[in-house]
Amino acid sequence: METAEIARRFLTFFEQNDHTVVPSASLVADDPTLLFVPAGMVPFKPYFLGQQTPPFDRATSVQKCIRTIDIEEVGKTSRHATFFQMLGNFSFGDYFKDKAIPLAWDLLTTPVAGGGFGIDPEKLWVTVYLDDDEAADIWRDVVGVPPERIQRRGVEDNYWSMGVPGPCGPCSEIFYDRGPEHGVEGGPVADEDRYVEVWNLVFMQYERGEGGAKKDYPILGDLPKQNIDTGLGLERLASLLQGVDNIYETDTLGRILQDAAQRTGTRYGAAERSDVMLRVVADHVRSAVMLVSDGVRPGNEKGGYVLRRILRRSIRNLRLLSGGDTAHLHGLTETAIGAMEGIYPELRAGAERIHEVIDTEEKNFSDTLRSGTALFNRAAERTKGSGATRISGADAFQLHDTYGFPIDLTLEMAGEQGLDVDETEFRALMQSQRDTAKADAKAKKLGNADISVYARLLEGSGATEFLGYTDHEGEARVLGIVAAGAPAAAAREGETVEVVLDRTPFYGESGGQLADKGVLTVEGRGAVRIDDVQKPLPGLFVHRGTVTSGEIVVDDTVHAAIDDGRRAAVSRAHSATHLIHSALRNALGPSTGQAGSENGPGRLRFDFTASTALTPAELAEVEEEVNTVLAGDIEVRDFQTSLDEALAMGALAMFGEKYGDRVRVVEMSDYSRELCGGTHVAATGQLGIVKLLGESSVGAGVRRVEAAVGIDAFRRLSKESLLVGRLSEQLKTPREELPQRIDSMVSRLRAAEKEIEKLRAAQVLQAAAGLAKDAAEIGGALVVSHRAPDGTAGDDLRRLALDVRGRLGEDRPAVVAVAGVPKDRPVVVIAVNKAGQGKGLKAGELVGIAARALGGGGGGKPDVAQGGGTDATAVDTALRAVEQRVAATP
């Protein structure tokens, strides 16, 4: 049975059972918390959450889904896929377990001739949640599943929630027994390779509170309406009904995979390595077609980045499989459209546009691959020239990071030349790169330009010559201009631009040192204000700024001049960083290492490894040592040498830096000696003074000190001295006695605040007797609905609610709702006595109603619950909503 027929039968079956057929939503999620739709129920979330009223009580759909969390695993197994389709049937307060369970069983087991899938009932097992006796009874007594094929499982397997407060409930799963050749007997609890999950039926019947995604969260109460959400993986069901081992052998993915094998001259099943590549191509080409069809375009951010990534993965694997650079994606795209158009006819209508987008990306990446190959060849020649047989992990990482070369491509190219690759170093560099904060910072620095734009500039024009160690200005030629992420021939006044020069005095941000700023001037025609300089590729300086007058054109001769004052201030900060590094090692021991830094104009931060915080005494000791050394006016010297010689003389290598065979050493006598490419002062006396501003933690085992340097440090000390003087004058206390005087004042203030809090609480509770006396009778219950004065603390609101409830006694059902606005955000507390709970009134449910009116959420136990929101103007509305709910309770 073809995949399109499976989908058709599913929709027809539920349409015949009074479900509305809902077309698949776009893969691009209409939800700010999601990038793509990852599950079939996502388009119906507003209905399940009660945010919108559904236009139907029952629905069914075939929903397109994308999951990107395990792209790297795609191909390595026969289960993972980026794009997949979920068949689902949904009930919004209409039917529940007694209807959903038989419907699923009937569709699966009804013979093909009768419109079903014709699965042998003896092959099916089911699981239910631990205490879901209702579902177990339906499977056994209504459906007729033997008790030995009904298994109970815990919260990890058979309980569902969205991972956040909202609907939740137990689920029941249907498994297909593939037979003893696939594993051991004993049902799903024994072997999920043999017993494959086919269908998941979720019974939404409770509301959960805050807590973990999978467990450890409170159940706040029953949902107002019980809902059904089911999911049946179309690809997985197709593999079972088509009698194949996995989803990559079905009629859709298998068709693309076999076409890829034919085009590349390989055979699926011949070798595991090529099988993995073919699975990657089949999945990624189909995923790309579906994404482009839904309007996604390749880019460097969000969905565009995902699309670009999977397309480039496909291209790489196709080249590895074929051993050449033939373009295969156009034909494979057509195959994917043909394989999927039976379910999504819009693919054929949009085929021309889909081809155009994918063809363009393949062409652009082909240029990048050529540049990367040239870089690899240079690395291979350098390796052979040194007599080595192993390409460094740093070179392999540069190929990956700059040109998108996967390590297996680099390994294969190295093998062809009798070389191997330092994979250990490569993996270490890859792990370091996965730091998301660094990735975000890098993305912001590079803007929206494709890295291949810079790669082509570097390949065509060579590296930029850096003049900045000796010259602060000079003449240079414009080699390239990038505007709006693309190469440009010229840029005019007002445009934001990136300029590449053949030589430059501008320091490009690196090694923790911020970039220079300054001006590029085209004599008689224009000027560009430079605000930043980055090195997206080693050796390539990209000057970012704004054309302030006239225009700048490729091949122009410009006068490049940096801001001398800024350079001097940054250099002082960088030299101070080296001194602080040495002082910290002297204070804490040689195991203390640099973990990052930033050197700006007159200010720095320095991250270092340490298991505990520095004491005030240690911090003072470091500061004194640094200032003692700089007062000695030690010469700051730099020179180049081999890496081995530099390390032999004790030079420190910095965190995260890559070094070639020749390195630059910056030394301050024997006190400090480091490998460094930054700019520095000529002698330590030029620093003037270094003032440590504080020490803090930035992560496990990493601390940070911040400091001001030179005139910035003087200004800081001057302000602090002025502040201390004013405090001394106002408090009429000598400077040296200020700490004791301030401690005494703070202690008295805290004592006064506690006393005021006690008085406020007593005042609030004084109202309890009157509130209880004036309780209204609503729906057979005593109800107190009270808005406390603004500013009343949340704890006082809770105490008041409990006090009033106690005064109402237990003879009659009673509900107490107290709300207020402690600090600009409304809070509501609800207390229900035992008689009220016996009537069906639960505090957790009532507070949820009130909190939603306030634009928030909340929950708690049946006897007392607390919630809040964001709309302070809706307090009275929230209290009325509680009264209405009580009135509606029989």
pLDDT of res. 56? 93
Q: Reduce the DSSP state of residue 79 to 3 states and report it.
A: coil
pLDDT at 591 over 90: no
Q: What is the mean pLDDT of residues 383-402?
A: 84
482 residue type, one letter? V
pLDDT of res. 325? 79
pLDDT of res. 32? 59
Contact between residue 634 and residue 650 where contact means Cβ atoms under 8 Å apart: no
Backbone φ and ψ of 839, nearest 5°: -80, -5
C-alpha of 85 from chain center: 24
pLDDT at 51 over 70: no
pLDDT tier, 460 (very low <50, low <70, confident <90, very high otherwise): confident
Contact between residue 293 and residue 344 where contact means Cβ atoms under 8 Å apart: yes
Q: Which of 56-70, 92-106, 293-307 has the lowest mean pLDDT?
A: 293-307
pLDDT tier, 445 (very low <50, low <70, confident <90, very high otherwise): very low
pLDDT of res. 404? 61
C-alpha of 179 from chain center: 40
Q: pTM higher than 0.85, yes or no?
A: no
Q: pLDDT tens, 534-587?
A: 998 878 999 999 999 999 999 999 999 999 999 999 999 999 999 999 999 999
pLDDT of res. 448? 41
pLDDT tier, 660 (very low <50, low <70, confident <90, very high otherwise): low
Higher pLDDT, 401 or 357: 357
Binding site for Zn(2+): which residues?
A: 574, 578, 676, 680
Contacts of 506 (CB under 8 A, 6+ apart): 468, 515, 516, 518, 530, 533, 541, 543, 560, 562
Q: pLDDT tens, 163-183?
A: 777 889 999 999 999 999 999
Domains of the chain: 3-244 (3.30.930.10), 252-434 (no CATH), 444-562 (2.40.30.130), 567-717 (3.30.980.10), 767-887 (3.10.310.40)
pLDDT of res. 656? 38
Higher pLDDT, 6 or 316: 6
pLDDT of res. 92? 94
Q: pLDDT tens, 195-228?
A: 999 999 999 999 888 887 778 888 998 988 899 9
CA angle 718, 723, 725 (to 5 degrees): 95
pLDDT at 475 over 80: yes
pLDDT of res. 275? 93
Q: pLDDT tens, 624-634?
A: 999 999 999 99
Binding site: which residues?
A: 574, 578, 676, 680
First-residue to last-residue Cα distance in the chain = 53
pLDDT of res. 406? 61
Q: pLDDT tens, 90-148?
A: 999 999 999 999 999 999 999 999 999 999 999 999 999 999 999 999 999 999 999 99
Contacts of 414 (CB under 8 A, 6+ apart): 380, 391, 420, 421
pLDDT at 655 over 60: no
Q: What is the mean pLDDT of residues 419-436?
A: 79
pLDDT at 864 over 70: yes
Q: pLDDT tens, 668-711?
A: 999 999 999 999 999 999 999 999 998 988 754 578 999 999 99
Helix axes of 423-433 and 407-416: crossing angle, nearest 10 degrees: 160
pLDDT at 294 over 50: yes
Q: What is the DSSP string of 417-469?
A: TT-EE-HHHHHHHHHHHT-HHHHHHHHHHHTT--HHHHHHHHHHH-PPEE-TT
pLDDT of res. 654? 64
Instruction: Name the DSSP class of 97.
Output: H
Q: Reduce the DSSP state of residue 81 to 3 states and report it.
A: coil
- CA distance linking residue 813 with residue 874, whole number of Å: 26
pLDDT of res. 408? 61
The mean of the pLDDT values for the chain is 88
pLDDT of res. 761? 67
Higher pLDDT, 446 or 800: 800
- CA distance linking residue 822 with residue 808, whole number of Å: 26
Contacts of 496 (CB under 8 A, 6+ apart): 483, 544, 545, 546
